[in-house]
Amino acid sequence: MPNIRHTPQAPTRTQELIPGQTIDAHRHDDHQIVYAGSGVLDVTTEAGTWFAPGNRAIWVPAGCVHAHRAHGHLALHLLGLPAGTNPLNLDAPTVLAVDPLLRELILTHTRGPHEDTPERLRLRAVLLDQLRASPQEPAQLPAPTDPRLAAVCDLLRANPADPRSLAALGTAAGASGRTLSRLFRHELGMTFPQWRTRLRLYHSLRMLADEVPVTTVAHHCGWSSASAFIDVFRRAFGYTPGTHNRGR
């Protein structure tokens, strides 16, 4: 990531981003929690992309070079924490579950005012307690380094609905299905079907944020039917795709 901007203190604020808008690669000396009050957020590093709808937040550790992208109209809530404050002892970007209480704490804390009043310090203490109890969620799309594996991943990124088997994709990438299967497990920490499903879920979130109909999203992202898509989506995120843009 060229032209990396260094901001010593991670800001605590709210920021509106239009669809497709990005915040270029940068790093902070502080930790940061990034939350999308509306729209869908992704955070990208050299290791991959983490994505979060409204019931997830992304923890970005101090010193981590990262970039943001908005999908849909994004209400971005940024919460900076000193480098010595790491309630979950996380040293890599991580997606965290956000329940209604934690959501309200993040929204209130990022809207300001930002002076360290006694009330605000008490609010932060409760917020940190809630973070400690937040489950980690599997919402990372890791990036491959092997060129054969990268070629397969690029084919699927360009067309998430591509129905070809790993062996057939391997023919186009110049590698056997067995080799690619090993690479998926070794480099990306998951099987090929798991990675492809996660890619499709990521694309579905992006399309839903742009208010594309559920049936269209299901077809574009490779599910055989809208009902199959709804089932996988609900198991992954805890709500149905039809309610994605409501109540945020």
pLDDT of residue 228: 96
Question: Does residue 11 register a pLDDT over 80?
Answer: no
What mean pLDDT is predicted for residues 117-135?
A: 90
Structural domains of the chain sorted by starting position, each given as residue range(s) with its CATH number in brackets: 5-140 (2.60.120.810), 143-243 (1.10.10.60)
Digit-coded pLDDT (tens) for 61-119: 999 999 999 999 999 999 999 988 888 889 999 999 999 999 999 999 898 777 778 88
Question: Does residue 144 register a pLDDT over 90?
Answer: yes
Q: How far apart are CA 79 and CA 204, in angstroms?
A: 27
| pLDDT over 90 percentage in the chain | 71
Digit-coded pLDDT (tens) for 27-49: 999 999 999 988 898 999 999 99
Per 3-state DSSP, the chain is made up of helix, strand and coil in percentages (nearest 5) of: 40, 25, 35
Q: How far apart are CA 60 and CA 29, in angstroms?
A: 11
Amino acid, single-letter form, for residue 175: A
